[in-house]
Structure 1
Amino acid sequence: MLHQNEIAVDNFAGGGGASTGLEMALGRSVDIAINHDPAAIDMHKVNHPNTTHYCESVWDVDPVAACAGRPVGLAWFSPDCKHFSRAKGATPVNKEIRGLAWVAVRWAMSVPVRVFMLENVSEFLSWGPVVYINDQPRPCPARKGETFDGFIKALTTGLKPTHPTWLEAVRALNIEFNLVEKYKLFKGLGYCIEHKILKMSDYGVPTSRARLFIVARNDGAPISWPTPTHGNPESGLIKVKTAADIIDWSIPVKSIFNRPRPIAEKTLIRIAKGIEKEIINNPDPFIVPREHVAPFITEHANGSNQRNMALNEPLRTLCAQVKGGHFALVTSHIIKFRGDNTGHKTNEPLHTISAGGNHLGEVQTFLIKYFGTSNAQSALEPLGTITTKDRYGVVMIRGSKYQIVDIGMRMLYPHELYAAMGFPASYKIAFNSEGKKNTKQNQVARCGNAVCPPAAAALVTANLTLSKKQVAA
């Protein structure tokens, strides 16, 4: 754990993912949290009231003044990853944002920091100079990893003035004309450093997200990596958590048909492709447990009048109008609004959540038993991408035929997304420190790109929990 008088610092604190993980491992709040975003700091304050908060740029916070003579036992850094991530696409690259990681070197040069950890996307390993290609700033393809190499050398054996990253480093650290500080950089800060890519699902987080973690320490103790707790049960591990574990099944889905504001054609195409992949062509689709089935069904079959019926009511009335069989199943899959991605199975870990907005939803497909040829209209007809022939309108599930009678869709709610990132259910997101309701957009922004608390907790526990032998020594 932390030594006497040592403090814990969370740079780039955001809404509090890393701080929550550190608190889970250390048994107490972090001492200092820094972030330039007032909304992020406000959510952090609500959930971590015992922390000293700095709502300003990490470059504007003086480590010496903030620490007030106290050594840092653990410093956590999660610099903005958007300008490294593949998800950034063709958007111009911001050199200053890509250089935010140098603040870790600044802290290590300014105050005693025993252990620090840095989290980012795996592409951070390719951190290199930015050049102009077709009048747009882009990472130089020929110099990938050059800046990362200089970053590691500065923290370990020393960064020489002949290294191509030297000038960027001294300018980022604002020590270009400070011989004393430049000498520290030249000699190196003497840390032992390791890095590894960890899958969040290995540590009980129901997301497929993978992140790069860097661990550095200068106290002579070895760097340890947490052992996965979740995986294949046959290997003695706990079963991986999935999207089904975080979906709030009490929230109803709304039929995609006859909405006052029609669904966009691209969304309908996504839904159609998702149903074709995860329901029609999947011999074993995810079936919503009966105790969790959606509370209504909208009829899109025989008759000229559409009827909405609760699923917890007797279904004989439904069978009297819809030719063939009895209501039997509700299937579910996840829809993703990113690129050409059609989504994934509900019994898989949820895909990565970004800070740009809510782009993950759930689609429920309602089915009844199907007997022979029916002249019932297929619910897929308005989608325009799957024909209404029986071989497409009929789904074979576990040896039985079912007819699709309705399709519902809704976006995932913030509390579901936070659960998918491993935040505890008690985490406060709905209201700010003044008691005013947080917008859905603000809640999601604090969640996307957050550090998954269980993974941070596992990493801190592995490196800051003393063994009996160490305690005796």
Structure 2
Amino acid sequence: MKMRKIYYTDGTRRQLNLFREIIVDNFAGGGGASTGIELATGLSVDIAINHDPAAIAMHQVNHPDTEHYCESVWEVDPREAAKGRPIGLAWFSPDCKHFSKAKGGKPVEKSIRGLAWVAVRWAATVSPRVIILENVEEFQSWGPLGKDGRPDPDKKGYTFRSFVRALNRHGYKVEWKELKACDYGAPTIRKRLFLIARRDGRPIIWPESTHGDPKSAAVKSGKLKPWRTASEIMDWSLETPSIFNRKKPLSENTMRRIARGIQRFVLNNPDPFIIKVNHSGDFFRGQKLDKPLQTVTAKNGWGVVDPVLTQRGYGDPEGQRSMLDLKKPLGTVTAGGNKFAIATSHLIKLRGTCRDGQTVMNPMPTITAGGLHVGEVRAFLTKYYGSDTGQALSDPLHTVTTKDRFGLVTIKGENYQIADIGMRMLQPHELFAAQGFPANYVIDRDINGIKYSKAKQVARCGNAVPPPFAEQLVRANLPEFCVSEHMTKFARV
């Protein structure tokens, strides 16, 4: 029997049987599922299929040993691809946009919703021992479309049940369940539906959670690790430019969202997230936060924001503009020569229905494929001396008690006033980290060295399966394929 040696970064080696069962990743995209599978097995997937040349190019640079098919899943003949080899695992992540509630009430395309049927084609022609399918939770409602191009509410779930029965007819036992990425070590709350089908008579096993709510008994007792948080994946070395006096002013809606976030996460927060800064403006990571980021989608809708005290005078016709006035954008705020002492940070979403954003003490939200819409807001605070709180940093106002929280922030009994607010968009490397990708995963160039734009990087990220999902599902259901955690080329975070 033909064998070859596989070497790992730690110097260990493993004999690989070339006649072993193979693994196929349909809809491979940027490689989230493939990466998770490799983290579990120590080997690249054998076959990856995707119609998008850019996605395949990113997959190739990270999984060079994989055989790549850059074509529609329907154009790949499973028998020709398998070449007579038995298939241990076939993974499917069909396009989810035309099932997701994020699409709203817009018409959907039957051809895209029907992509999942390719799993039945593989089941009928090459009989993979295990099939795993990933999609949004609304996939369970898959049914016929009405004349208006929208799902028929009276036939909700009809097609999904037909899909399951088709797998049953080919000898598969089928189960499905919703899982959250933060429960398996990814710092995002992304929730997905997983369907497992197997025909080898073995039980379907759903992996036990490895992480949980820091407040839960399981975490406090040491049974589970605490959820990883948004603060863990954020690059605190990046500047957050002031929201004032920008060449292109922020939109009124963005300014209102920033104002609401400052009120909620800074002024009304008794113990805000703290980042220490020096006088040259370099940021260093502060106290550890205790929750993961929310789901990361293909359209990055989250940014980071930083606060500034309200202004008095300076040409304001009303005499003052308060950051707490949520009916209008913030006015210009000058630093007055003050040195920033500390900074607090939170995230805002610049599109959709999100009003206030979220603390970085939680996991990241869902990352989308369509663009950068998540920002960090960082409030720069300067030590406040005296009993009065000034609106302009050089010009004190009438005495205001700390309970009024009018631009005054009390942290651990010490008073600070807001000196400036900065905002920046989260960067692709932060978003990939939020999805749970390894630290050394290549995201900025393809196999030919061609650079990817930030938009393309985010699109690959938002469409990707968080690797911890795939790793834990494979370890639970295909332990005979798996290796110890150090036997992989990818660097774990």
Pairing partner for 1:80 from 90, 95, 99: 95
Q: Rate the CA distance shift 1:103–1:467 in 2: closer, same or farther, 3 A.
A: closer
Contact 2:41 2:481 in 1 (8 A): no
How big is each residue's C-alpha offset from its partner over 1:121-163, in whole Å with a ceiling of 9 and x where there is no partner? 111111111113xxx311111111111111101111xxxxxxx
Q: CA deviation at 1:27?
A: 1.2
Aligned to 1:464: 478
Aligned to 2:245: 258
Contact 2:132 2:195 in 1 (8 A): yes
The CA RMSD over aligned residues, in Å, is: 2.8
Pairing partner for 1:449 from 463, 477, 480: 463
Structure 1: gaps of 5 or more residues: 157-187, 305-317, 380-388, 469-473
Provide the secondary structure at the position in 2 that maps to 1:358: strand
TM-score using structure 2 length: 0.78
How big is each residue's C-alpha offset from its partner over 1:216-272, in whole Å with a ceiling of 9 and x where there is no partner? 110011111111111132142112111100001111111111111111111111111
Aligned to 2:78: 63
Q: CA deviation at 1:26?
A: 1.3
Give me the whole-angstrom Cα distance separating, in 2, the residues matched to 1:73 and 1:118: 14
How many aligned residue pairs are there? 409
How big is each residue's C-alpha offset from its partner over 1:179-236, in whole Å with a ceiling of 9 and x where there is no partner? xxxxxxxxx1111111111110011100011111111110011111111111132142
**Structure 1 residue 201 corresponds to structure 2 residue 216:** no
Q: Rate the CA distance shift 1:14–1:73 in 2: closer, same or farther, 3 A.
A: same
Query: Greater RCO between the two (CA within 8 Å, min separation 6)?
Result: 2
TM-score using structure 1 length: 0.81
Q: Rate the CA distance shift 1:407–1:126 in 2: closer, same or farther, 3 A.
A: same
Give me the whole-angstrom Cα distance separating, in 2, the residues matched to 1:361 and 1:66: 43
Aligned to 1:346: 360
Q: Rate the CA distance shift 1:291–1:17 in 2: closer, same or farther, 3 A.
A: farther
**Structure 1 residue 40 corresponds to structure 2 residue 21:** no
Provide the secondary structure at the position in 2 that maps to 1:75: strand
Provide the secondary structure at the position in 2 that maps to 1:100: helix
Q: Rate the CA distance shift 1:343–1:373 in 2: closer, same or farther, 3 A.
A: same
Q: Match of 1:273, as an amino acid?
A: R
Structure 2: gaps of 5 or more residues: 1-15, 284-305, 315-333, 395-402, 483-493
Q: CA deviation at 1:368?
A: 1.6
Give me the whole-angstrom Cα distance separating, in 2, the residues matched to 1:120 and 1:292: 48
Q: Rate the CA distance shift 1:327–1:444 in 2: closer, same or farther, 3 A.
A: closer
Pairing partner for 2:273 from 280, 283, 286: 286
**Structure 1 residue 149 corresponds to structure 2 residue 165:** no
**Structure 1 residue 336 corresponds to structure 2 residue 349:** yes
Contact 2:278 2:341 in 1 (8 A): no
Provide the secondary structure at the position in 2 that maps to 1:216: strand
Aligned to 2:150: 138
Aligned to 1:295: 282
How big is each residue's C-alpha offset from its partner over 1:92-141, in whole Å with a ceiling of 9 and x where there is no partner? 21111111110000000011210010001111111111113xxx311111
Give the ranges of 4+ consecutive aligned residues of structure 1 lying more than 6 Å apart after TM superposition. Answer: 296-304
Q: CA deviation at 1:401?
A: 2.9
Provide the secondary structure at the position in 2 that maps to 1:213: strand
Matches within 5 A, 1:337-376: 337-341=350-354, 342-370=356-384, 371-376=386-391
Provide the secondary structure at the position in 1 that maps to 2:420: strand
Question: What's the % identity of the aligned pairs?
Answer: 58
Q: CA deviation at 1:393?
A: 1.9
Give me the whole-angstrom Cα distance separating, in 2, the residues matched to 1:359 and 1:2: 46
Q: CA deviation at 1:5?
A: 2.4
Task: Give the number of the structure whose residues are more often helix, by fraction.
Answer: 1
Task: Give the number of the structure whose residues are more often strand, by fraction.
Answer: 2
Q: Match of 2:183, as an amino acid?
A: D
Give me the whole-angstrom Cα distance separating, in 2, the residues matched to 1:226 and 1:397: 41
Contact 2:389 2:417 in 1 (8 A): no
Give me the whole-angstrom Cα distance separating, in 2, the residues matched to 1:292 and 1:34: 51
Give me the whole-angstrom Cα distance separating, in 1, the residues matched to 2:70 and 2:405: 59
Aligned to 2:486: none
Give me the whole-angstrom Cα distance separating, in 2, the residues matched to 1:192 and 1:2: 28
